[in-house]
Amino acid sequence: MVIGDGVLTPAISVFSAVSGLELSMSKEQHRYVEVPVACVILIFLFALQHYGTHRVGFLFAPVVITWLFCISSIGVYNIFRWNRQVYQALSPYYMYKFLKKTQKGGWMSLGGILLCMTGSEAMFADLGHFSQLSIKIAFTFVVYPSLILAYMGQAAYLSEHHVIQSDYRIGFYESVPEKIRWPVLAIAILAAVVGSQAIITGTFSISNNIIHTSSKIHGQIYIPEINWTLMLLCLAVTIGFRDTKSMGNASGLAVITVMLVTTCLMSLVIVLCWHKSIFLAICFILFFGSIEALYFSASLIKFREGAWVPIALSFIFLVVMYVWHYGTFKKYEFDVQNKVSINWLLSLGPTLGIVRVRGIGLIHTELVSGIPAIFSHFVTNLPAFHQVVVFLCIKSVPVPHVGPEERFLVGRVGPKEYRLYRCIARYGYRDVHKDDIEFERDLVCSIAEFIRSERPECDVSLEKLEDDEKMTVVGTSSSNLDGIRMSVDDADFSEMASTSELQEIRPTEKPKKRVRFVVPESPQIDREAVEELQELMEAREAGMAFILGHSYVKAKRGSNLMKKLVINVGYDFLRRNFRGPTYALSIPHASTLEVGMVYHV
């Protein structure tokens, strides 16, 4: 529903803003101008996303403040000019009186009233980029008073002009004084762009495969596929409806559904996260849920008048997500069931039964324990493999940030002489992935620090996974100031520590690309660890090869027709058009080896 709202909010915001063009032309002329102008603005808005949301984001504060000041000032003007008694409308008594008098008609009108919420909600849709305190202050002292004054002013104007039933121009722009209508139109269009930008960014934020367009400001993101899909759908809705009423019904249902679901989930948060009583959660959901259910029912009754759009979009997105989740789960299940046993690895010996050449082989896998089946595929089909092999698993954990000191979990696969390591890099859902050079440096340093500190009596944090694998928590090189550092070429270490405090481990021969580890003098490391560190340096100097498994998932024989359609058609189409994980985008193509393997699930 949030993604559906990302389609509807830009369309209705821009379309409503350009409706002010009707003030200077006839109804027939306006019909042929309004839609093209709205489409041009939408195309411009989505084309701007390529440069990062901060291109529009920097306009957020001045445009929103100017717009709120504008509508509140116009509201105050209309109150004093047309009806000073309109302040009485703040009393809930008139809401009760209105519903009692209109009954079914008043209940059905609640769906249209939702537009009052969607506008203010869209401006702050991307709530994750602001603190709770700033949102509370902004809504309490700026947004809410401005909206109240604006709607009271429109009510005051309509109380004196509602008799002109034949004039289709009755609306917001008609209540604006004639001398400032064109400046207000310009501000309204800018506000529509900013409000649309907020919901577009919110849509990006709940999707995977995000591209961060700013290295300084978190939240400046861009997703090409989502962006152009939203643009096409926005244009289709704008051209198809050509009516703010139908678009309003659609947007209202999307927003109130999100609110209703959020309220239900919030009751779970009260019990499970805040550890409050179930009675408090029930009271919360009954109070807020009953109000939202009333609006939801009023919106649902407009199903045939435009409200079907978010339901149709949600159904399509649901099917796509289910197919992707089902196929991915079956693929992971195949990996778990077919992972190689440690006994098979031990039977191969330290050389793995093949020639070990210089370099580091980095194998990407989704398994956090065990040896992936694709590794046996490599060993049985390739005549040689790297002297150091690292099974790398990049995991997103359900926390906002993972501290640099807890970034890596490093362990050993098999005996020391096998030179097989496992590394799990953990990222929070708001962490930004580093570039490939810095990540490689941190990865190699974390393995080196694991080698240095690997002894039973050392005081390190351990986490035990399946197959009795012990993983050591190792931070990045920047977070572990007392740990091993790595210098490439002629890096100057004078700023890190004096030479009396550090000792260098260098390779015996001078290679083309010079790599060295700088480790603390105390505690001393044994000879085996020194040899292992030296071999790791030599492998790093020879270069790193990124080995990616390219899996082809097929339904196994005997599967039913539905499963074959989901796996062989649906999931295969999504996989072929999937952009891949963000870390894969920065992998140098010259150092990448991709090996295919068929998964029968």
CA distance 46 to 56: 11
**What's the pLDDT at 232?**
84
| 529 Cβ contact partners less than 8 Å away, ≥ 6 residues apart | 451, 452, 454
**What's the pLDDT at 74?**
93
**What's the pLDDT at 213?**
46
For residue 362, give both structure tokens. 């980095």
**What's the pLDDT at 229?**
79
Outline where DSSP puts E strands in 229-302: none
Over 90: is that where the pLDDT of 79 sits?
yes
**What's the pLDDT at 531?**
82
Model confidence pLDDT, tens digit, residues 231-286: 888 888 888 887 777 887 888 888 888 888 989 999 999 999 898 999 999 999 99
Over 90: is that where the pLDDT of 521 sits?
no
CA distance 143 to 127: 15
**What's the pLDDT at 418?**
84
Model confidence pLDDT, tens digit, residues 147-196: 899 989 988 988 887 765 545 456 778 888 888 888 888 888 888 877 77
Neighbours of 318 (CB within 10 A): 10
CA distance 439 to 444: 9
Q: What percent of the chain has pLDDT over 70?
A: 73
Q: For 5-19, 20-34, 296-310, 578-592, which range has the lowest pLDDT when averaged over its residues?
A: 578-592
Model confidence pLDDT, tens digit, residues 452-510: 877 644 444 445 544 556 778 887 766 665 666 666 664 443 443 333 344 555 555 54
CA 64 to chain CA mean position, Å: 24
| 268 Cβ contact partners less than 8 Å away, ≥ 6 residues apart | 281
448 contacts 536 by C-beta, under 8 angstroms: yes
Mean pLDDT, residues 499-528: 57
Amino acid symbol at 313: L
More confident residue, 527 or 285: 285
Outline where DSSP puts E strands in 52-174: none
For residue 468, give both structure tokens. 């009795």
Mean pLDDT of the chain: 76
**What's the pLDDT at 280?**
93
More confident residue, 506 or 296: 296
CA distance 364 to 424: 10
Q: Report which of 446, 410, 413, 423 is spatially closest to residue 364, judged by C-alpha positions.
A: 423
Model confidence pLDDT, tens digit, residues 360-395: 888 888 777 777 777 777 777 777 788 888 888 888
| 284 Cβ contact partners less than 8 Å away, ≥ 6 residues apart | 263, 266, 267, 270
Mean pLDDT, residues 532-557: 82
**What's the pLDDT at 487?**
62
Q: For residue 371, what is the DSSP state? A: B
Over 90: is that where the pLDDT of 287 sits?
yes
Residue 56: pLDDT band with limits 50, 70, 90: low
Q: Exposure of 128 by Cβ count < 10 A (0-12 exposed, 13-18 middle, 19+ buried)?
A: middle
287-301, 330-344, 471-485, range with greatest mean pLDDT: 287-301
Instruction: Determine how β-strand 544-554 pairs with β-strand 592-600.
Output: parallel
For residue 395, give the 3-state DSSP assignment: strand
CA distance 247 to 16: 10
Over 70: is that where the pLDDT of 94 sits?
yes
| DSSP per-residue letters across 110-144 | HHHHHHHHHHHHHHT--GGGS-HHHHHHHIIIIIH
**What's the pLDDT at 468?**
52
540 contacts 441 by C-beta, under 8 angstroms: no
